[in-house]
Structure 1
Amino acid sequence: MEFDSLRSFGIEVLSVEDDGLVIGASTEGFDFESLKDKITNFLSQEGKFKDTAAKLWDINSGKKWRLDYILSKELNEKWEELKDDQIYTVDLSVSCAVYITNVVTQDKEESDEKFQIRLSAWRKRKELLEIQRDAMESERFDQLATMVQVYGGSFLSSMIGLDDSFCVRIEINGAGLKDIVFNYPYLFEVNEYDPYSIELGSAEGDNVGELEFIEPDETSPTICVIDSGIQENHKFLEKAIQKHLSKSFLPSDPSTVDGVKNGGHGTRVAGSVLFGNQIPKSGKHQFIAKLANARVLDQTNSMPRELYPPALMKAVQSHYEKDCKVFQLSINSRKSVRQVHMSDWASTIDQLNYETDSLFVISTGNINRETNFLDINNPSVKQHLIQGRQYPKYFQEQSAKIANPSQSAFSLTVGSICLNDFDDPDWKSFGKLNEPSAFTRSGPGIWGMVKPDVVEYGGDYVQEKNSSPNLITKEITSPETVRSTASAMSAIGRDKVGTSFSAPKVTHTIARILNQWPNASSLFIRSLVAQSARWPDVELPLSLNEKLELFGYGLPSLDRALENSQSRITFYTEGKISPKQAKVYKIAIPEELNRPGDSFDYLIEVSLAYKARIRRTRRGTKSYVSSWADWVSGHLWETDQQFQERVLQYASTSVENAEKLKTEPIKWFIREQSDWGIVKGFKRNDSTLQKSWANLKSYQLPEHLSIAVVGHAGWEKDVYKEEIPYCLMVSIECLHPEVKVYEKIRIHNETQIEIEV
């Protein structure tokens, strides 16, 4: 159903929920009872809708439902306890979308000239409606401001506008908050302020011999570390710090120094960006990147309430726009993300990615080690164990899912795996090498997206062998980090664990990529990181779904990201695509590699990344973006003509209809429908970074490996003008190293073949 068409009944659609609930606001003086009468009268007319009103509509014009659908779970649970005179800090999201009709289409008998006249008129109406939308945003903000002022409240942030909504942080008493929630009709989400504090072991000596650091090359990328500040005169960091770019965004503290006790936080993150998994101990070492220090956390490792994350992200990106493409963000909410709308924080990051091609690398967040009180909505690792939920099964709990803003659609989200294991008569680590860290958070992301995208080494906790275990860190299970020496600690050590330190190791890989391809787009980087990643070998009895939820696409490989090998070749292309358009790419396979008598094993990997404009008031990836893209492959023994016809049908109708052929599909790990791939329950096209892989025998290799990128309509109505950028990568690897495929396939594909359908 086209929900926005409800405007003809006097209803503005604010948001659409998964269970079919439409949250709407009455317009033009309509009330919901007259709406119900109007719909009933309409549906009772002669025709197919006769007598079906009761089946289709249940109109709830009360107010209790607003609490269930608009408030965050935590705020809803404490709603009855709110005191009228107590001050609360909340983040509000307000809808201000306009209804634009579908773009006009050309009639069979209509001349091109007449069609262009009608199309031009439609575009003029669309332009006027978009101007109206801007005026509506201003008007609704003024309305909200009046209600806030009546109760003596104040705004803690500026208004952050998105295509269909705006968000803002306010401070207001309980009476005013209740009035706004119940009586401000355009509200669709309310969240209570989260300080985004980060949970922060045994010390280790430097053990550093003769070591000399060399400044990075002038052409090396500058990585912005958004964190608690950095100890800029640290001997392991100083020559990489761009001090003229350092800035504190804290409202009352201009210092950019990392003031967090016991070794700092931003300093550790910065070291992980520069060194990855191996901090040098001797010799000469040239830095692979420059660092920009953006301090946003105070000395308690928390974000002050005056810093509203959406506004902060815009301020940081704007400040570093000329210098930084990549932003490292090891800051998360303390709890799992709300699976309703894309959050204001994550949406703003997505908007910045689309508008500026910035790339944010974000940690999944950590499950707390232990807490002094039981929080049933956010239990710690220790509380999971006490309540009988053992590792790794507690990752399936909703409370263990990824934390805001790591659900961001166009960012790279990073989880954590163990780098070692420990076991003695009294203590043991949770996991072994490459198994999930006890504290990491699992996917999927919002609307079924594959999240985390990838994983890196962030360490593990060690637990006592009893029914109520204490949890500690050990050197052997902790990653080595650069530490602030302000607390008289040594310069490096193994005493902290967390996704805060796994995420910047992926940023280290990205810095290496940018050294090799300085002008690489964010789409190229995302695709290449995913393309280089593979699942690590683990002994844990995890299902395929659980592995995908914990590892994403796997552990990236710097070697596979930067180089091909004699047994592996990678192709890539970047372009733009419109809805109902397909671009077919063909890789020719030499006959000597697919001879019937051979049975060598081949791994085929395909990654696609795209980005588009976004809006917050709708749910589902394909409603969140203005347009979307996915990829499909040729079947085994399918002719070029059959594949092109199937792709054309898919681009214009549906995936189900396009699949009804007698040829045999390649057994991809994740496919276009949730029950088609090897793993069930995931759809490849629910994600904006779409990777899948398949194993083929040499005799199964086709004459041409055909991959099509297909464009689809999202919320943008003007599909004639809409184009979204994408990057596609395809790798072919023979798993028998003695078989040399690189030169054979390269020579056979000197000219890229692209066919527009």
Structure 2
Amino acid sequence: MTGALQEDQWESLGLTLLSSDEDRTLVLFSTTEDMQGFRERLAAYAGGPRANHKSAPYAGFLSNIEEIGDVRPQDRIGIRLREDGVTNPADFQDATSYLLDVELWELGGRQARSQKADQIAEYIEAMNGQVFDRYVGPSITMVRARVGGALARTLLNIEDVSNIDRPPQPDFSTADILDATLPELPELTQASENLPVIGVIDSGVNAHPLIDDIVVGSIAIPARLGIADGHGHGTRTAGFAVFGDLRGQFAAGTMTRYARIASAKVLDDTGNFDEMRLVPKQMREALTELSQSYGCRVFVISLADTHQRHQGAKVGAWAATLDELARELNAVIIVAAGNRQPRPQARLEETITAYPGYLTEPRNRLCEPAGGLNLISVGSLSHGSGIGPEDIENAHLRAVTAANEPSPFTAIGPGVGGATKPDLVDIGGTFVFDAVAARLRRGADYPSAGIVTLHNSPRTRLFASSSGTSCAAPIVANKAARILARFPNASANLVRALLVGSAHIPDEAALRLQPLGDVNTRLICGNGVADPERASYSDDDRVILYAEDNLQIDHFAVYHVPVPPEFQTGGKRSIRVSLAFDPPVRHTRFDYAGVGMSFRLLRGCSSDLIFEHYRSRTQADGPVPAILGRYDCKLQPGSREREKNSVQTAAITFTNDTTEYGNDYYLVVRCEGGWAAGTEASQNFALLVEMAHQPATQLYARLRARIRV
């Protein structure tokens, strides 16, 4: 359909709405075989307008219908089977055994659905299939069974069946790592004394054999808290910050430390802030001391106030203080977006049935301080289904996500002033719906739902499992440290630009969120997942040009971007521009940032025209010379969306021949004064231009030669 779904209209015709998808596809069930009322309306509508009427009868209802058809057997094939190449009933092979979840439509009460599930289970067993489990909940009815191909084809023809699919794939890696002992670990690489130091602002960091030699210092604010991690959260955060995602480390057969750690304990052993200290003051003291005493350039704060959700207007004092510190300390401050329980107890099944739509609800907005402008806020993606190998035949444990889809608990943007937030997403685990216990389980109590990090009591066990955006944030801090190790003199702006400029939304997340639209996809995933290798190195066919610079308020700069002939023809090419700056902020003002910056990529026109167009003019200078629209590279996202951010990225892709525009492109960067124009003389920033050519082209060598000239 298009337009309103008009559920009440369908019900008045004796039709029950069984399901509706984001693409506005409805599945309806008729209580009578002939659907008489619906057919009468169709006939009246087909007859056209009656006398003295402009529209046909029921046009407001029926004109919204694009297509009508029956639910076919192939429509009941689930997404996992389709990904495996099973798209039609004939694809089920007689000689193959299939472990399947058979889901029924929500028709009738729980007792009626239970009887129907029993009938189907009895039929499967009568046809030599095996039934392992069945589940009848408030809105979900399922049977898990192993069947042959012929029986699978038969099940697709049962009208009560809504969906047949493979069960979620179990996550073996979490269980494999969690029980590892020191002798079983891969080789632990030697950590260099030149590794960047990440400041962990949390509940402290305990001694642990895998990081003892790289914890350079520990403090407590206030000192009476002590430095030991009695809560456990800080040690887990440190583990992610040092190692990143340990699954990749174990798969590679080595354990690499990418950073050293300095800890500032700001939480007590119950995981709460000190009652006698103001949080903004704690933040300022902790970050300043770690910066001055241990040289921290990257900080991770995997803490969030779930009672204060950012609604897009002013940020709180906590976020504003961190924004100020990012500018004062030239620091990359990375914060967790925050978490939310998707549904209350009575509606827990909607965690599965309403996913991912509920992520866009107003109650799911960023937690303080993640709305800050100069911070990198991080949302969460799932590492997989979260189902452990021991529960592969258990239908009472239900997965919500697959790998690289948004975690069901992740909070979303926008940030202050409508800025794109979260800036990035990364792996943070998932939820699993436990029907028997009637609750959602996460990594802390069901390890496969989480990702692996360090345990705060290593004498008990070396590793723990955890779920949350508090896991994703230190993984991004790990990536920032890897970039800083490559460019030790880089400003915080350059590191932020490299992180965001390397990010892409995973295909799995984009596909799952596609029905929600591009705007909601960016609200949930921001700019995507950062790639530290892509950020730190150019390739033969992909080149990054960068600059760190300073602009006076209300001035502009023009950068020459050389475009070799090889880049102007032959296949898919792209240019991506990223800009990061750290404006002064004022917590009490609606126009929070005191300075704004923007960029524009032009081609095919002279630099003289560009300077004449942008320079300050008097009345005697005459009108502003126009820059034709054909000279403007239409970067996406557009200027209106990206200029709300202090770290901006946008790209354009070419497939046609562009030789008519010549070898010279120009990037215009503008610095516009807001309320800070009277107090700030200039603004620091970092700028990137990434040029990529899809076919193997020696782009790097051509550009390097031109730039040397």
| Smaller-chain TM-score bracket | 0.5 to 0.7
Task: Report if aligned partners of 2:600, 2:632 keep a CA contact under 8 Å in 1.
Answer: no
**Separation (CA, whole Å) in 2 of partners of 1:548 and 1:314:** 31
Paired AA for residue 546 in structure 2: Y
Aligned to 2:646: 688
Mapped partners of 2:484, 2:627: distance in 1? 43
CA distance in structure 2 between the aligned counterparts of 1:341 and 1:573, rounded to whole angstroms: 32
Residue 419, structure 1, aligned to residue 419, structure 2: no
Alpha-carbon distance change, 750 to 253 in structure 1, aligned in 2, over 3 angstroms: same
Change (3 A) 1:318 1:593: closer
Q: Does 1:367 align with 2:337?
A: no
Call closer, same or farther: CA 1:320–1:432 in 2, change over 3 Å. Answer: same
**Contact 1:250/1:298 (CA < 8 Å) preserved in 2?**
no
AA of the residue aligned to 1:573: A
The percentage of aligned residue pairs carrying the same residue is: 24
The amino acid that maps onto 2:666 is S
Kept in 2, the 8 Å contact 1:382–1:471? The answer is no
1:742 offset after TM fit, Å?
1.3
TM-score (norm 1): 0.63
Q: Give the C-alpha shift of residue 468 in structure 1.
A: 6.4
When residues 566 and 452 of structure 1 are mapped into structure 2, their CA distance, relative to the original with a 3 A threshold, is same
For 1:275, which of 219, 224, 243 is the aligned residue?
243
- Aligned-partner Cα distance in 2 for 1:483–1:650: 64
- The partner residue of 2:218 within 246, 249, 261 is 246
CA drift of 1:358 comes to 2.1
Letter in 2 for 1:366: N
Contact 1:627 1:722 in 2 (8 A): no
The separation in 1 between residues aligned to 2:355 and 2:625, in whole angstroms, is 42
Match of 1:556 among 516, 530, 544: 530
Match of 2:545 in 1: 571
- Aligned residues of 1:381 and 1:438 also touching (Cα < 8 A): no
Select between 420-429 and 552-561 the one with higher mean Cα deviation.
420-429
Indicate yes or no: 2:628 matched with 1:661. Answer: yes
Report the equivalent of 1:188: none
CA distance in 1, matches of 2:297, 2:442: 37
SS at match of 2:225: coil
- CA displacement, residues 565-605 of structure 1 (integer Å, 9 cap, x when unaligned): 1110000111111232110111111123314xx3x101211
Q: Which amino acid aligns with 1:325?
A: R
**Kindly tell me: are residues 380 and 559 of structure 1, through their superposed partners in 2, closer, same or farther at Cα, counting changes over 3 Å?**
farther
Q: For 1:259 and 1:659, locate their aligned partners in 2 and report how far apart those are by CA, in whole Å.
A: 65
Deviation of 1:642 after TM superposition, in Å, equals 4.0
The equivalent of 2:589 in structure 1 is 618
Kept in 1: contact 2:386–2:430 (CA 8 A)? no
Determine the structure 1 residue equivalent to 2:672.
712
CA contact (8 A) 1:567 1:733 kept: yes
- 8 Å contact from structure 1 (residues 367, 380) kept in 2: no
Give unmatched runs, 5+ long, in structure 1: 1-200, 370-378, 674-682, 752-757
User: Secondary structure at the residue paired with 1:706?
Assistant: strand
Number of the residue aligned with 1:402: 366
Distance 1:472 1:609, change over 3 A: closer
Answer whether contact 1:220 1:289 (CA < 8 A) is retained.
yes
Matches of residues 112-127 of structure 1 in structure 2 within 5 Å? Answer: none
The 3-state SS of whatever aligns with 1:269 is: helix
| Structure 2 Cα separation of the partners of residues 550 and 465 of structure 1 | 27
Distance 2:543 2:529 in 1: 19
- Cα distance in 1, alignment partners of residues 596 and 186 from structure 2: 50
What does 1:337-376 align with in structure 2 at a 5 Å threshold? Answer: 337-368=310-341
Give distance in 2, aligned partners of 1:616 and 1:345. Answer: 10
CA distance in 2, matches of 1:552, 1:729: 19
Partner of 1:328: 300
Cα gap change, 1:584 to 1:214, in 2 (>3 Å): same
- Rounded to whole Å, the distance in 1 between the matches of 2:277 and 2:579 is 35
SS of structure 2 residue aligned to 1:624: coil
Task: Please give the per-residue CA displacement for 1:585-629, whole angstroms capped at 9, x wherever unaligned.
Answer: 11111123314xx3x10121111011122212211xxx3233221
- Given that 2:566 and 2:699 are in contact with CA atoms closer than 8 Å, whether structure 1 keeps it comes out as no
Separation of aligned partners in 1, 2:266 and 2:344: 26
Residues 382 and 724 of structure 1: CA distance in aligned 2, closer, same or farther (over 3 Å): farther
Q: Which runs of 5+ in 2 are unaligned?
A: 1-173
- Rounded Cα–Cα distance in structure 1 between residues aligned with 2:358 and 2:200: 31
Superposed, 1:217-232 pairs within 5 Å as: 217-232=192-207
What is the 5 A alignment of 1:448-527? 448-464=418-434, 470-473=440-443, 474-485=446-457, 489-493=460-464, 495-527=465-497
Taking the TM superposition and a 5 Å limit, the aligned residue runs for 1:50-449 are 204-206=178-180, 208=182, 209=184, 213=188, 216-232=191-207, 234-242=208-216, 245-250=217-222, 252-254=224-226, 256-260=227-231, 264-278=232-246, 280=249, 285=255, 287-322=257-292, 323=294, 324-335=296-307, 336-368=309-341, 390-421=354-385, 425-449=395-419
Residue 510 of structure 1 contacts residue 525 of structure 1 at CA under 8 Å; is this kept in 2?
yes
Residue 596 of structure 2: aligned partner: 628
Deviation at 1:325, TM superposition (A): 1.6
Partner AA of 1:362 in structure 2? V
- Within 1, Cα distance between the matches of 2:449 and 2:351? 25
The reply on whether 1:604 has 2:608 as its aligned counterpart is no
SS at match of 1:519: coil
Give the match for residue 556 of structure 2: 582
2:677 is equivalent to residue 739 of structure 1:
no
2:153 alignment partner in structure 1:
none
User: 2: CA distance between counterparts of 1:727 and 1:348?
Assistant: 22
Q: How far is 1:385 from its partner?
A: 5.3
| Structure 2 contact 415–422 (Cα < 8 Å) conserved | yes
How far apart are the structure 1 equivalents of 2:490 and 2:629? 41
Distance 2:683 2:348 in 1: 44
Shift >6 Å, 4+ stretches: 465-468, 649-652, 657-660
Q: Which amino acid aligns with 1:406?
A: A
Per-residue CA deviation, residues 119-157 of structure 1 (Å, 9 max, x unaligned), is xxxxxxxxxxxxxxxxxxxxxxxxxxxxxxxxxxxxxxx
Shift of residue 224, structure 1, vs aligned partner: 1.0
Greater Cα radius of gyration, structure 1 or 2: 2
Cα distance between partner residues in 2 of 1:662 and 1:227 = 51
Q: CA deviation at 1:469?
A: 5.6
Does structure 2 conserve the Cα–Cα contact (< 8 Å) formed by 1:224 and 1:326?
A: yes
Name the SS of the counterpart of 1:367 in structure 2.
coil
- 1:16 counterpart residue number: none
Residue 534 (structure 1) shift: 0.9
CA contact (8 A) 1:584 1:708 kept: yes
Amino acid at match of 2:384: N
Match of 1:224, SS state, is strand
Which digits, 9 at most, give the CA deviation of each residue in 1:628-669, with x for residues without a partner?
A: 21111115x4444444444447999xxxx9987342532322
Structure 2 Cα separation of the partners of residues 307 and 380 of structure 1: 33
CA deviation profile, 1:517-548 (whole Å, cap 9, x unmatched): 11211101100101111111023134111111
3-state SS of 1:546 partner: helix
What displacement does 1:515 show?
1.4
Q: CA deviation at 1:426?
A: 2.7
